[in-house]
Structures are given as C-alpha cells and as structure tokens.
Structure 1
Amino acid sequence: MRPRKRRSKNKLVAQVEAARAERSVEVWAMDEHRVGLKPILRRTWARRGERPQVAVRPRYEWLYVYAFVCPETGESEFWLAPSVNSAMFCEITAAFLRSREQAVLLVLDQAGWHMSAETLALEADGVLAFEHLPPYSPELMPAERLWELTDERLANRVFERLADLEAVLGETCVSLTDQPARIQSRTLYHWWPGGADHTSTE
C-alpha cells in the first residue's frame, strides 16, 4: 500500500478550525484494547509485614474493547467485540458514525487494520476523515489512557468464563460514558484541538 503523507499536528489543528468555520466537525480518537482470562496484575494493598497475594489462573481467551473518545468534550463510546481486524473495525466505525450528527475526523494509530483498503474506503462520503499518528507513538494516542479505567474492575481477579468478564467490563464501560469530566481530564492533551483552553484536573 502506498504510504499516506502525514500532516503535522499544527496543520491538523488549523485544518479542523478551518473546517469548523463551514461545518460542524468533531475530532475523535480511537483505539482497541485486548483483555481476557489471562489475569491483569496490579499493585494491591496488604497489611504491613505481610506479602500480598493475588490468585492467577491464566487462560488464553480474549475480548477486545473498541473505544472512541472526543477529548475536547470527554464524550466516549465503547464497543466489545470478539476479534480485531479490518472487517470488524469497519463495521464498528460505521455504526459509530451513524450515531453522530457532525462530520468526524478520527485520529488512529497505524495498525494494519486501520490502513486497509476497506478502512480507507470509509472516507469516501466525506463524513469521516482519518489522521494517522506517527508509528510507535502510543504516548500521542488519547484513547490509550482509557485502558487504566476500563481495567479497574478486572485487575487482580480471576474470571471463570469470558462471559463473566464481559459482563463486568460492559458495566464499567457504560459507567465511563457517564463521566465526561473524568475522561476529558485524562485525554485532552494540550496540543489537541481545544486543549489549550482546559487544564487537567487528574
């Protein structure tokens, strides 16, 4: 595939501002995250002098979180899916777009399924445009900061079935969509459109 020329972030912000003068445009970021029956281990509290213990029972069944976030407003949308590939990405992104009234500029990393011909075809109707981040730069992706929140209730736990994990994860994602201020404080980088007008509180 012929590589696409990337625009600098300053030019991206200028492009969005120019587009907003003619049409309402939202700038979202999107990423995927894998969770499963292999336990997520985090630090835990223990009494002084006692070694903390966490049960583990690793199995290799997976579930994927597809997360869309608008850092400027803190709005978010989560989808749970059994796999990650071009077809699944296109299906979920198309469903996400149907819920938006404004045009969307979607910031993505350069995962293969984000660069496929099927994916790039989503731009054809002008409702959606993609901006791909430089390779190997997860620190630039606002959606990366959502995973600490989605994993909160999964960490240091053993789930008997993937369906049990999915139920807990689904409840967590629904709860997060009702916390825009918390999402905004984690994802609105200073260089993001609108970021200079806000100060992180978390």
Structure 2
Amino acid sequence: MRYAQGGGLTPAGQAKRERLRLAAAGRFKNGERTAAIARELRVTERSVRRWRRAWEAGGGEALLSVGPVSAERLSAEQFARLEREPARGPPAHGWSEDSQGWTLKRIKLLIGRMFHVGCTVQGVWKLMRRHGWSAQVPVRRALERDEEQIEVWKGGVAADKSTALDLGAAVCFEDGTGQGMRPPKGRTGARRGQRPTVRVRGSSRGRVSLAGVRCCRPGHRPRMFFRPHVHHGRHREPKTFTWREYRDLIVDTHQQLGTPLVWVWDNLNVHLQQEWFDFAAGHQDWLRIFHLPSYAPELNPVEHLWSLLKRHLADFAAADLAHLTRAIKRKLKKIQYRPHLIEGCLAGTGLIIEPPTDTTSST
C-alpha cells in the first residue's frame, strides 16, 4: 500500500492529496527544486519526483485524482452509525456473553444486518483501515470491577486534597510486584519467518518481591523509594513482606522526606490487618492511610514504574537470585535519578496531585 493507512484514503483525504499535487505542479512551472518542494509541502522527495514525471508526461491533468479504486458500500452517515456499535460489545448483537472480540467476519455480518449491504471480508478490512481502524490488543478489566465506586473515589477522595494541604504532607502511592528466575518475554529482531531463540532460566525456585513508593509534594521534585524482599524457597521462610516490614517502609519514608504522609495503596490482605488501623490511629499527627478502589490498578502510578522495570528484565538470564537482585536494584536506582520518569508515571493515571490555584485576588 502506498499510504500509512494501508487501505487507501478517504474521499476527503484524496481531495487533500490532489491539492498538494496541483500545488506542486505550479512549482514545477517555476523550476523549483525537488527538495525545496518536498520541504514546503511536507511530503517525501520520492512523491515529488513521481509527480514531476507524471506532470512532464501529461501536464496538470495527469495529477488529478481518478477517484477511489472501488466505491465504498457505506455512506458517511452509515459508517458513523457502524462506528458506534462496537462499543456496545458483541453480546449486544446476539453473540455469546463470553465472546468479547470483534472479528472481520462479525463486522461483515453486522453490516449486513444493519444496512442490508453485502461485503467481503477483504472489503471490510479495507473499509475499516481506510477510516483509521486497526487490530489492537484490548486493555483487560476485572469482571468484579465497580466503575461507579472508582468514579466516586476519583471525584471524591482523589479530588479532595484538603488532607494533604492541611498536614503539609507528601502524597505517597505504594504498590508491590515480584520477579522470579524466569524473566518476562521480550522482543528482538530477526529475519521474517525465522523465530529467534533465547536461553533463559527454566527454574522458578526463588523470588524477589518489591515494595515501591512514589512520593510527590507540590513545589518539590517527585521521589521514589523501594525495598526488596528475597525469598530463597526455604522451609518456613516468609515469601513476601509482613505488616512490620511495611510499617518500617512507611516510617523510613517519613524520615527521608521529613514531612507528614498521605499513604495510598491497594486492598491487599496485609494492608487490611487490624494492626494498620491501630498504627494509623496512634500516628495521626503525621500519617493518613487511604485505599484505592478494588480492581483499579491503573490509578496507581507505581504500576507504570514496574512496567519500566519489567521491560529492562525481558529475557534476562540471571545466574542466581543475587544476580537478579543486583539487576533490579541497578535499574530502580537509575529511575530514582530521573525525576521526569517518576513524574510521567502520575500522568498515566489521569490523577492531578497539584492543588487548585486560588484565582481570587485580595483587595
């Protein structure tokens, strides 16, 4: 295909491309150079050379659009109606509840049901590509997820910054992850049809658990702290963090920042133990604890930090747990010295930590 869309251009796109070709024809008459024309019209020099050859052979008429290769079977109004249907999901159109994906065959049947128009699967593919559609991997959401509760949390707890303002506190998001000896899968280059092979650890004995904290305070650069927990697979050895280790992490973060903390984390079992309520009640002068909604990991900016770490560990062949631990610490140390990465992780959640500016002026 000639264009990036893969299925040609829409009629509006073809008209825009025709105007570019006719503008180039006027510059051809003036004797302008190919590089200058391409730079001014923001197209490739290869396209300008092709237009010049057509203009020299047939004049300006050779640069006129000949229309689409095949006429679209749906009008603009019909396609606008079709675009609204996939958001309702396949079950709304008669397919089973456990089937949530849209295939070309299903879209072909949907077009026939809605508009009584027959299309081939290849024609549907060209139609969708021409209008900017593509095959994508969907974002997964838990069935137990409560969207209303999440919206209430975002509009209430997250939007109300009075707790942090009253305490002069730093807002700290905490999250945990883990990595065993078997690394995450990554991508590498190879010739088409020749799948590359990488050698990694097949044993999953042992694991490195991580607790990470992303702290932000208006007017200060964002900070990140982490603490590893190595599980060697021994008998009666703790596999992950206990509530005392989480307590020490909170205390250490408070001492490092020197400010009160508004602590935000998920609903892990260890986070809901009675000891936490007693600890928070005994340190109300510098600690407030809030819980994220259930099944809403996208609200925690630390999740984006873990994605940076996992990308670094893709296809990593660790010699032992000590080697894996060193690699994890090295990567997290690099992130700590890059505040723009820590700041960007908050932007991915859609949350705003900065307090609203006071637009009233004193007289």
Same fold (TM over 0.5): yes
**Which aligned pairs between 1:30-69 and structure 2 lie closer than 5 A?**
30-58=174-202, 59-69=204-214
**Which aligned pairs between 1:28-107 and structure 2 lie closer than 5 A?**
28-58=172-202, 59-70=204-215, 73-82=221-230, 83-107=240-264
User: Following the alignment from structure 1 to structure 2, what is the Cα–Cα distance between the partners of residues 153 and 164?
Assistant: 14
Cα distance, 1:23 vs. partner?
A: 3.4
Q: TM-score, normalised by structure 2?
A: 0.48
Q: 2:266 aligns with which of 75, 86, 109?
A: 109
Structure with max Cα Rg: 2
Deviations, residues 87-122 of structure 1 (Å, cap 9, x unaligned): 322222222222121111111000011111222333
Say if 1:107 and 1:132, in contact at 8 Å, map to a contact too.
yes
Judging changes above 3 Å, is the alpha-carbon distance between structure 1 residues 18 and 105 closer, same or farther for their aligned structure 2 residues? closer
Whichever structure has more helix as a proportion of its residues is 2
Partner amino acid, structure 1, of 2:222: G
Whichever structure has more strand as a proportion of its residues is 1
Say if 1:108 and 1:133, in contact at 8 Å, map to a contact too.
yes
- CA RMSD for the aligned pairs? 2.6
1:3 corresponds to: none
Once superposed, which parts of structure 1, at least 4 consecutive aligned residues long, lie more than 4 Å away?
none
Cα distance, 1:196 vs. partner?
A: 8.7
1:157 corresponds to: 316
Q: TM-score, normalised by structure 1?
A: 0.83
User: Following the alignment from structure 1 to structure 2, what is the Cα–Cα distance between the partners of residues 64 and 88?
Assistant: 12
Cα distance, 1:16 vs. partner?
A: 2.3
User: Following the alignment from structure 2 to structure 1, what is the Cα–Cα distance between the partners of residues 200 and 189?
Assistant: 17
Cα distance, 1:29 vs. partner?
A: 0.4
2:293 corresponds to: 134
Judging changes above 3 Å, is the alpha-carbon distance between structure 1 residues 195 and 140 closer, same or farther for their aligned structure 2 residues? farther
SS at match of 2:190: coil
SS at match of 1:151: helix
Give the number of equivalent residue pairs.
192
User: Following the alignment from structure 1 to structure 2, what is the Cα–Cα distance between the partners of residues 141 and 27?
Assistant: 12
User: Following the alignment from structure 1 to structure 2, what is the Cα–Cα distance between the partners of residues 140 and 39?
Assistant: 26
SS at match of 2:257: coil
User: Following the alignment from structure 1 to structure 2, what is the Cα–Cα distance between the partners of residues 86 and 18?
Assistant: 24
